[in-house]
């Protein structure tokens, strides 16, 4: 809308615009009024007031820019005249400042993310290692027991030989008589199917065999068992391993797999 005459209110608006004192939204709207409406009243007032306020530049202390500014300006104008691409030095400098600042910020975020992820992975690894340590401590305790048993002068060693088709199998019992324990080791005894089990027997000098342990071997044919020798078992003549139905029986029924005399 074009105004017909200058009012105090219009003059105030022109003053605020010329001084740069309008808010951004006001400035945009007023600039649109000047450019699109081509309001002669407001344009005339703004032109005069802008010329007046621009004189404030002469109130600033007089300073001289470095000669390089003029040289860059000349070069830029020559490049434009000759059709070469024109690059704004200031824009380039600010671009690189912004780029470096942005890159630094992005790098910091990436590092923080990587550190956080690494910390999470490290914590997971620590948990795994702690679990493994606990497992190894149990195994170490067991091995200490085994070593103590094996090296004790009160330990008897009983060798068991493979029987029947299990000629390659062998077993060994370390009998700690003071502690009434058997440490039983088996090698190269083929694992049985799910419906069968191996069973180790105390074979007394007199009376029926007494079940010691029901077991199966690993895929490599090995087995290790720690067995308490019952109080009632005193005089033994043999140790035997038989093949039985899964879960074992109260008395041996199947063929010998291993046998050793005591």
Partner 1 sequence: MDERAEKEDRELILRMASRDANALDAFYTRYNRVAFSLILRIVGSRQDAEDVLMDAFWQVWQQSGRYDSSRGKPIAWLLTIARTRAIDCIRSNQRRQGRTEEFEADKNPAAGPAEPDSFVMSDTRRAVHEALQTLPEQQKIALEMAYFQGMSHSEIASALGQPLGTVKDRIRNGMLHLRKRLRSYF
CB of 116 to partner 1, least distance (A): 25
CB of 117 to partner 1, least distance (A): 28
Give yes or no for residue 106 binding partner 1 (CB under 8 A).
no
Residue (91 or 194) nearer to partner 1, CB: 91
- Pattern 33-52, binding to partner 1, x per CB under 8 A? ----------x---xxxxxx
Give yes or no for residue 84 binding partner 1 (CB under 8 A).
no
Q: Exposed, middle or buried, 106 (CB in 10 Å: 0-12/13-18/19+)? A: exposed
Give yes or no for residue 12 binding partner 1 (CB under 8 A).
yes
Contact 258, 238 (CB under 8 A): no
CB of 43 to partner 1, least distance (A): 8
CB of 80 to partner 1, least distance (A): 7
Contact window for partner 1 (CB under 8 A) among 7-15, 166-174, 182-190, 253-261: 7-15
DSSP 145: H
User: CB neighbours of 20 closer than 8 A, spacing ≥ 6?
Assistant: none
Give yes or no for residue 66 binding partner 1 (CB under 8 A).
yes
Contact window for partner 1 (CB under 8 A) among 66-74, 112-120, 158-166, 213-221: 66-74
**Cβ of 74: how many Cβ atoms within 10 Å?**
10
Helical H runs in the chain? Answer: 8-19, 24-35, 40-54, 67-81, 89-151
Give yes or no for residue 10 binding partner 1 (CB under 8 A).
no
Give yes or no for residue 19 binding partner 1 (CB under 8 A).
yes
**Cβ of 54: how many Cβ atoms within 10 Å?**
10
Partners of 261 in the β-ladder = 238
Q: How far apart are CA 185 and CA 190, in angstroms?
A: 14
Give yes or no for residue 58 binding partner 1 (CB under 8 A).
yes
Question: How far does CA 260 lie from the centroid of its chain?
Answer: 53
Give yes or no for residue 11 binding partner 1 (CB under 8 A).
yes
Q: How far is CA 89 from CA 64, 72, 98, in A?
A: 19, 8, 14
Site residues, partner 1 (CB under 8 A): 11-12, 15-16, 18-24, 26, 43, 47-66, 68-70, 72-74, 76-78, 80-81, 88-91, 93-94, 98, 101
């Amino acid at each position: 809308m074009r105004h017909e005459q200058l009012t105090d209110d219009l003059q105030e608006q022109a003053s605020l615009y010329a001084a740069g004192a309008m808010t951004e939204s006001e400035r945009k709207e007023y600039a649109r009024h000047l450019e699109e409406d081509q309001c002669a009243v407001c344009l005339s007032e703004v032109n005069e007031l802008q010329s007046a306020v621009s004189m404030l530049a002469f109130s600033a202390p007089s300073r001289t820019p470095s000669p390089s500014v003029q040289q860059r300006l000349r070069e830029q104008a020559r490049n434009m005249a000759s059709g070469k691409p024109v690059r704004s030095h200031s824009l380039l400098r600010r671009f690189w400042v912004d780029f470096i600042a942005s890159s630094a910020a992005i790098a910091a975020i990436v590092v923080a993310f990587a550190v956080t992820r690494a910390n999470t992975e490290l914590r997971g690894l620590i948990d795994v290692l702690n679990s493994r340590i606990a497992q190894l401590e149990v195994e170490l305790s067991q091995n200490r027991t085994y070593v103590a048993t094996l090296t004790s002068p009160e330990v008897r060693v009983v060798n068991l030989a493979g029987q029947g088709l299990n000629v390659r199998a062998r077993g060994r019992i370390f009998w700690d008589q003071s502690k009434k324990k058997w440490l039983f080791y088996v090698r190269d005894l083929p694992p049985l199917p799910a419906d069968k089990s191996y069973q180790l027997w105390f074979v007394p000098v007199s009376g029926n065999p007494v079940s010691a342990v029901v077991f199966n071997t690993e895929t490599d044919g090995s087995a290790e068992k720690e067995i308490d020798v019952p109080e009632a078992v005193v005089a033994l003549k043999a140790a035997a391993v038989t093949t039985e139905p899964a879960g074992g029986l109260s008395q041996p029924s199947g063929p010998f797999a291993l046998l050793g005399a005591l």
